[in-house]
């Protein structure tokens, strides 16, 4: 057998570079599942030293990895926002694109740094800054292919009647939604009458191909899925969960979901014919919103939306749940619990205490990885019967790990308020 064939077989068994990439928000399929991950059979008792560690500016933008390169956004001194590219194996900076982006969040706790996660699509990478500056860059060189400025073009045209200091359409804590690429299109909930509550751009030149609704923008990111025989873009606007026909962005169905300050944050989870909606902080005098499963069905040329189940134990706010092996795993912000929910019935399988209120979840290789805001990584078994912990590792001492991690092959990338880390989980198996 020749060496080329042997190499191809090994890459196919172990998860080659392309198969193990983490090129966008929540991974290859935007669902929090790491394809091709290589995790240890026996986890270390002590936290290993990182493979590399570099200082990075302010921001909650999450790292993404494609073709051996890592992409991320940050804010440096003053009003400088930067799009960055590093070698994933060494942390060496390969290119940067810096630009002026004055920005002050209405809530100082939100921070001034970028919050949106880049999306890599072959030779292009899409990056959205906190103030709404949207760039399409060449992924290899960092050169600008095209750019748009949401704040200058679309926002600032109407004030919130309840708060004259608040723009009615822009996200008051900064743009956080992450671009969804679908073929030749890029989908973002830009917000407002001029851009539409959801906007579809031509990925090659940035022109607007379609817009839908006039809702306020959302912090959440859209996904694409086929439901009830129709391919759809599914996600939050500032006030509701919607399904838009992928061909023309026409509204197919919606589900009102008002939360405090219009802070719709969680990415929807699509499981079979269900759309899982999460977001617990509610508006006064409106129903409390626990995690809700919507069943989407066709009816006489239209679509019906019915509540299949509601789970009161899983009250997510910032952490998007993950559906894995017929269970839904998520964090209860109020009780600081990891919660396992049976997806067919919505019943709670188990809850685990002593988790941080905010974190991010990745499912891979039969494990549930929970990266918490205080810098701890919990490795649990994907077990529907009980919580089984395999490891607890302190990956950051600085804390403020608001950004979601990335898992590419055996490499685990973590961003805290000061640094970007790479841990190699391969080790001896």
Q: Does residue 395 share a domain with residue 373? A: yes
pLDDT at 105 over 80: no
- Interior angle at CA 112, CA 110 and CA 117, nearest 5: 85
pLDDT at 298 over 50: yes
The continuous run of DSSP H or E covering 19 comes out as helix 17-20
Q: Which residues contact 36 (CB under 8 A, 6 or more apart)?
A: 14, 15, 16, 19, 20, 409
Number of domains in the chain: 2
pLDDT at 15 over 60: no
pLDDT of res. 299? 84
Among 72, 152, 159, 86, residue whose Cα is nearest residue 117 = 72
pLDDT tens-digit readout, 124-144: 999 999 999 999 999 999 999
Q: Which whole number is the average pLDDT over 75-80? A: 90
pLDDT of res. 17? 38
**DSSP reduced 3-state for 14:** helix
Q: Does residue 169 share a domain with residue 91? A: yes
CB 28 within 8 A of CB 21: yes
pLDDT of res. 104? 80
Q: Which whole number is the average pLDDT over 317-334? A: 94
Boundaries of domain holding 24:
1-57+329-339+349-401+403-429
Q: Does residue 80 share a domain with residue 50? A: no
Q: pTM of this prediction?
A: 0.92
pLDDT at 359 over 70: yes
pLDDT of res. 337? 95
- Residues above pLDDT 70, as percent of the chain: 90
Is 20 contained in some domain? yes
Domain boundary among 121, 150, 178: 178
Q: Which residues contact 291 (CB under 8 A, 6 or more apart)?
A: 276, 277, 278, 310, 311, 314, 315, 316, 321, 328, 330, 341
Q: Does residue 127 share a domain with residue 43? A: no
Band (429; pLDDT cuts 50, 70, 90)? very low
Is 391 contained in some domain? yes
Domain boundary among 148, 178, 208: 178
Q: Which residue has the tokens 């992409």?
A: 71
CB 188 within 8 A of CB 198: yes
Higher pLDDT, 89 or 259: 89
Q: Which residues contact 157 (CB under 8 A, 6 or more apart)?
A: 169, 192, 193, 194
pLDDT of res. 290? 86
Mean pLDDT of the chain: 89
CB 314 within 8 A of CB 282: no
Is 312 contained in some domain? no
Q: Does residue 68 share a domain with residue 28? A: no
Is 188 contained in some domain? no
pLDDT at 301 over 90: no
pLDDT at 163 over 70: no
Higher pLDDT, 96 or 168: 96
pLDDT tens-digit readout, 214-273: 888 899 999 999 998 999 999 999 889 999 999 999 999 999 887 776 778 899 999 999
pLDDT of res. 32? 98
Q: Does residue 73 share a domain with residue 143? A: yes
pLDDT of res. 6? 32
Is 193 contained in some domain? no
Q: Calculate the CA dihedral of residues 163, 167, 170, 175 and round it to 10 degrees.
A: -80
pLDDT of res. 347? 98
What phi, psi does 243 have (nearest 5°)?
-120, 120
Higher pLDDT, 159 or 145: 145
Domain boundary among 126, 159, 178: 178
Q: Which whole number is the average pLDDT over 64-69? A: 98
pLDDT of res. 2? 38
pLDDT of res. 336? 92
Higher pLDDT, 122 or 356: 122
Band (161; pLDDT cuts 50, 70, 90)? low
Q: Does residue 120 share a domain with residue 33? A: no
Band (31; pLDDT cuts 50, 70, 90)? very high
Domain CATH number, residue 140: 2.40.10.480
Distance CA 26, CA 160 (A): 32
pLDDT tens-digit readout, 185-211: 999 999 888 899 999 999 999 999 999
Domain CATH number, residue 362: 2.40.128
pLDDT of res. 48? 94
**Distances in whole angstroms, Cα of residue 375 to Cα of each of 179, 340, 370:** 26, 22, 10
């Amino acid at each position: 057998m020749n060496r080329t064939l042997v190499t191809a077989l090994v890459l196919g068994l172990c998860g080659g570079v392309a198969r193990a990439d983490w090129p966008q928000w929540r991974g290859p399929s935007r669902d929090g599942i790491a394809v091709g991950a290589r995790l240890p059979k026996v986890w270390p008792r002590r936290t290993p030293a990182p493979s590399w560690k570099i200082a990075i500016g302010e921001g909650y933008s999450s790292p993404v990895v494609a073709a051996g390169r890592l992409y991320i956004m940050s804010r440096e001194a003053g009003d400088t926002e930067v799009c960055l590219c590093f070698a994933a194996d060494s942390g060496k900076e390969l290119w940067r694109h810096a630009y002026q982006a004055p920005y002050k969040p209405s809530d100082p706790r939100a921070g001034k740094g970028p919050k949106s996660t880049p999306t890599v699509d072959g030779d292009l990478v899409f990056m959205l800054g906190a103030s709404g500056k949207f760039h399409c860059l060449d992924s290899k060189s960092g050169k600008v292919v095209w750019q748009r400025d949401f704040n200058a073009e679309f926002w600032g045209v109407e004030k919130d009647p309840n708060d004259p200091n608040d723009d009615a359409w822009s996200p008051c804590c900064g743009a956080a939604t992450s671009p969804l690429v679908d073929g030749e299109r890029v989908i973002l909930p830009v917000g407002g009458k001029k851009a539409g509550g959801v906007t579809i751009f031509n990925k090659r030149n940035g022109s607007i191909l379609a817009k839908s609704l006039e809702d306020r923008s959302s912090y959440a990111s859209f996904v694409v899925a086929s439901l009830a025989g129709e391919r759809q873009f599914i996600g939050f606007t500032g006030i509701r969960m919607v399904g838009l026909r992928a061909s023309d962005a026409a509204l197919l169905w919606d589900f009102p979901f008002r939360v405090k300050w219009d802070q719709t944050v969680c990415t929807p989870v699509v499981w079979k014919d269900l759309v899982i909606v999460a977001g617990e902080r509610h508006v006064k005098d409106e129903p409390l919103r626990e995690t809700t499963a919507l069943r989407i069905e066709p009816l006489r040329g239209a679509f019906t939306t019915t509540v299949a189940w509601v789970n009161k134990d899983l009250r997510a706010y910032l952490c998007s749940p993950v559906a894995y092996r017929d269970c839904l795993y998520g964090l209860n912000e109020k009780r600081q619990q990891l919660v396992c929910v049976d997806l067919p019935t919505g019943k709670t399988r188990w809850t685990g205490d002593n988790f941080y209120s905010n974190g991010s979840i990745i499912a891979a290789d039969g494990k549930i990885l929970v990266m918490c805001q205080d810098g701890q990584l919990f490795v649990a078994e994907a077990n529907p019967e009980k919580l089984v912990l395999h490891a607890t590792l302190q990956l950051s001492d600085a804390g403020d790990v608001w950004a979601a991690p990335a898992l590419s092959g055996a490499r685990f990338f973590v961003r805290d308020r000061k640094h970007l880390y790479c841990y190699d989980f391969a080790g001896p198996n």
